[in-house]
Structures are given as structure tokens and as C-alpha cells.
Amino acid sequence: MLSDIPLIDDPWFYLTATLAVLVLGIAKGGLAGGIGLVAVPLMSLTIEPARAAAILLPILMLMDVTALRTYWGQWDRENLVTMIPGAVLGTVIGFATFEILSSDDLRVMVGFIAFAFALRWWLARAEAPVRRAGMKAGTFWSALAGFTSFSVHAGGPPIHIYLLPQQLGKTTFQATTVAFFFGINWLKIGPYAWLGQLDASNLATSMVLAPLAPIGILIGARLHHRINEAVFFKVVYASLLVLGVKLMYDGLWG
């Protein structure tokens, strides 16, 4: 029974986890998918990054099923073909290196990704030239996405770096990322189970947080056409800068 399984009892964890799951749901629901990057850094303030990733995986899969139904068939098939081989490669690399990287290594990695992605957004001044899908670039960026997604569910930035210069339509862009991460998250199940990440305690914690998933998706869908995205992005990316610095400090000197 759930009551017999040792759950995390830190109230600060549930505060950060609630915010993380809601942000992920909002991202999956159609409002700026890249903001989901905040989830693991936020939870990593109260638990180890590897455990945060394990707790979030079943919740992400639940969100993927819901989002995939919404965007079914609207993705860019050419891009998915270029990204599938890299996704598999990156997942394998993430699996092979998972036990080599310490918790502090992961904190530094997550913090750097969060900080660099946010800083890149803040410093951008001009739109990049339009690029088309390509097998070499697609394989490279999707492999990096597979690796960072396996380790800390931070696959969004590499995929955005690859897709955004193509200037896909908003719906096509969202559908393509949803389909890509649906596949990646299913690829993680076996390796996560092999590594002991999907233990009873983590799965029970996922079950406690799972009801927040559809709430976040519903909020994202409703806000899609109602919120000033410029203001929203500024708040989110400012928080990523702060979280990135905090995690890098903890990993290096904390």
C-alpha cells in the first residue's frame, strides 16, 4: 500500500515539485515548451538531480500522452526522421555515463544548461537565418538532447537550437517537440528501471504529484492565447538565470 512506502516528507520538496510539475504541464500544454527546463533545476534545490529526474519521468510520460493526442499528425516528419537516430544515440550515452556522474556533476551540468540557455535568450538581438532540416545537424543536436534529457530531462535547449532557425509554424514546432520527447521518454524506461531509479519510493512520489499534470496542461492550453508571452518569457528566463547560478555554486563549492 502507498502508506507503507517511505515518501519524501520535506515540505520544501513538495513546494518545488508542485511548481515544477505545473510548469512542465504548462509547457506541454502549448505555452513555450522550453520553459520545462526549469523543472529539474527547481526540484534539485531540495533533492538530488538524479532522483528528481526519476520522479518526473512517469509524470512526463503521462503529459506526453495527453499532448500527443492534441497535436497528433501535425508534426514535421522530415525533422523527426533526422532526429530519431541521434535521440537513440544520446540516450545510450546517457545510460552509459549515468553512474559516472556524481550529484554535484549533475548540479553543475543542469545549472550550466539552465544559465547558458537563459543567457542566450536574453542576449539575442537578431533572428538567425532560416535553415532547413539536415541529417548531420539533426543527429548532433538530438544526440545532445537525448543525453541531457536522460540525465536531467533538459533536452529542450538542444532541440530548440536545431528547430528554431527553421522558423516552423508555432503548432508544427510544438507538435514536433512533443512527438520527439514522447519517443525519448519511452526510451528511458528500460534504462531507468535497470539503474534502480524507478523504485517504490520514487514511483509513489510520482503518483502523489501526477494529478497536477493535467492541471498544468489545461493551464497551458488556456493561457496560450491569453498571456503576454514577452512578459512571461522574461520572468521564466530570469528565474532560469538565478537557478543556474545557484546550482552551479552548490555543485562546485556548496
Listed by start position, the domains of the chain span: 2-252
Residue at grid coordinates 522550453: 34
Residue with more model confidence, 30 or 148:
148
Alpha helical stretches, state H, 164-228 = 170-194, 200-209, 212-223
Q: Per-residue pLDDT for 4 more than 80?
A: no
Residue 102 has pLDDT above 70, yes or no: yes
Mean pLDDT of 117-124: 76
- The predicted-structure confidence for 209-247, as pLDDT tens digits, reads as follows 999 988 888 887 777 667 665 666 676 677 778 777 877
| Full-model pTM | 0.77
For the segment 161-198, what is each residue's pLDDT rounded down to a tens digit? 788 778 777 778 878 888 898 899 898 988 888 988 88
Quote the CA–CA distance of 156 and 248 in Å, as a whole number. Answer: 19
CA nearest 84: which of 165, 33, 138, 134? 138
- Predicted confidence at residue 195, as pLDDT, reads 86
Mean pLDDT of the chain: 80
